[in-house]
Amino acid sequence: MIKFGTDGWRAVISDEFTFRNVNKVAKAIALYLINHGFSKKPLIIGYDPRFLADKFAEEVTKVMEEAGIDCYLVERDTPTPVVAWEVKDKQAAGAVMLTASHNPAEYCGIKFIPDYAGPAQAEITDEIQENSNKDITLPQPKKKGKVERFDPQKRYQKYIGSFVDADLIKKAKLKIVYDSMHGSGRGYVDMILQGLGCKVDALHSERDVLFGGGTPEPTDEHLDELKSLVASSKANIGLANDGDADRFGVVDENGNFLHANQIIPLVFDYLVAEKGFTGAVVRSVATTHMIDRVAKQHNIKVHETPVGFKHIAKLMLEDDIIIGGEESGGLSIKGHIPEKDGILANLLVVEMVAKRKKPLSALWKDLIAKVGEIYTVRINLELDDKKKKDLMDELREDTPNELSGVKVKNVNKIDGVKMVLADGSWVLARPSGTEPLVRIYAESDKKEKLAVIVDAVQNLI
């Protein structure tokens, strides 16, 4: 059965992710476009550098041609945020992106990006998923759709450059190491930075469908080479993106990885204090409350959503949002598309360092001095589906009144079970929608308290 997760359908290539199943999903997307009056506008089709992703994209294109829908097909593997932006740029009906993002090389995926250039909401993916599991026949069009190949690179680079102060960055003459992780960010981030006068050393800047034998996820454990080169070459910053460049990774001048739970509050504070942004901020339920502390300093409202950027995107479309972010490494800002963009995130970090004329490690210490320290952790617990369900049912029905001797002040059940303690610490238990896992997120202002909370939750489980 084809089942959509938080950001499209993903599966192992040649197991479930086959040309036959891609054809089914493509037909379901075509039917959605026809039934909802979008079929007269063109559709953008993109893909990441995975094995056969370009061929799967061509399969989608054939379905759209037969359905009478015009298509723009990218010439090379392209970042998801660039494909999403092209929906806005070309006033298209939407986009289909062949990507498994940060997942291992054996996976591929397909996601539909609607006309508002952000992640599809549940009512859209539910309809597409239902029709993907049926044998549907598309209406016969009067004429076939047209297909045009295009390269969005130069137009996107010009557009995204408008979000940063080019003159400021050029004057700083920063040295940067960039790791595309063999993903679609290569030729984008490095070229943009070079155009801004930065000296850039690029790692893994060639297509490799196996991602060098690793996983294209820009997390601490996957960026050892980047961390080492930044420190040894005395670079100012290390930057990385995942396979489709919608997620970001950042390394400071000492070769230390900075988590998204550090970068998002830093960028948020910078946008408000230095660039004069106004509005609200939105984060997922699993993302750091340091964002709340920064918001309190600036008298800004905080929105909390379930996990998944589609929930953040919905608020960005409905409200005046300065920045939306999630701990897994995604953010977008006011004025941009409501889709996470790892390219933009990297550029904002570069501008922040150039503007504040301090290394990243010092900027982090400055933020701690203003709002206080925070420590976070995420643990994956492997549980089969029955145990996973039983655990979450029990936590929802019989949530503890205290953890490690500290009273549970507030319980949030919008996505899993989140317990906020009286001292400001919190812990979240959330079941994975696609894997036999329960993820435990926890945060506190002291390492010792965090360790005690995690022990208490594991003992409870």
* Shared-domain flag, residues 116 and 178: no
Token code pair at residue 24: 């089914």
Whether 237 is covered by a domain: the verdict is yes
* Shared-domain flag, residues 40 and 140: yes
CB 110 within 8 A of CB 59: no
How many residues are recorded in the chain? 461
Whether 79 is covered by a domain: the verdict is yes
* Shared-domain flag, residues 292 and 390: no
Whether 347 is covered by a domain: the verdict is no
* Shared-domain flag, residues 137 and 56: yes
* Shared-domain flag, residues 69 and 198: no
Domain that holds residue 186: 156-258
Token code pair at residue 288: 């750091």
* Shared-domain flag, residues 217 and 201: yes
What pTM was estimated for this model as a whole?
A: 0.95
Query: CA-CA distances (angstroms) from residue 254 to 29, 205, 237, 258, 434?
Result: 47, 23, 9, 11, 36
Given this model, what pLDDT does residue 252 score?
A: 98
Whether 354 is covered by a domain: the verdict is no
* Total count of domains within the chain: 4
* Shared-domain flag, residues 210 and 223: yes
Whether 351 is covered by a domain: the verdict is no
CATH number for the domain spanning 393: value is 3.30.310.50
Given this model, what pLDDT does residue 461 score?
A: 78
Among 241, 258, 275, give the residue marking a domain's end.
Answer: 258
Q: 10 Å Cβ neighbour count for 410?
A: 10
Among 151, 176, 201, give the residue marking a domain's end.
Answer: 151
CATH number for the domain spanning 330: value is 3.40.120.10
* Shared-domain flag, residues 68 and 131: yes
Given this model, what pLDDT does residue 342 score?
A: 98
Query: Which candidate, 368, 389, 393, places its Cα nearest to that of 445?
Result: 368
* Shared-domain flag, residues 30 and 116: yes
* Shared-domain flag, residues 247 and 283: no
Among 103, 123, 151, give the residue marking a domain's end.
Answer: 151
Cβ burial, residue 141 (10 Å; 0-12/13-18/19+): middle
Whether 1 is covered by a domain: the verdict is no
**Which of the residues in the chain have pLDDT under 70?**
433-434
Whether 2 is covered by a domain: the verdict is no
Given this model, what pLDDT does residue 293 score?
A: 98
369's CB contacts (< 8 A; 6+ apart) are: none
* Shared-domain flag, residues 96 and 134: yes
Cβ burial, residue 114 (10 Å; 0-12/13-18/19+): buried
Given this model, what pLDDT does residue 460 score?
A: 81
Cβ burial, residue 299 (10 Å; 0-12/13-18/19+): exposed
Whether 361 is covered by a domain: the verdict is no
* Shared-domain flag, residues 21 and 141: yes
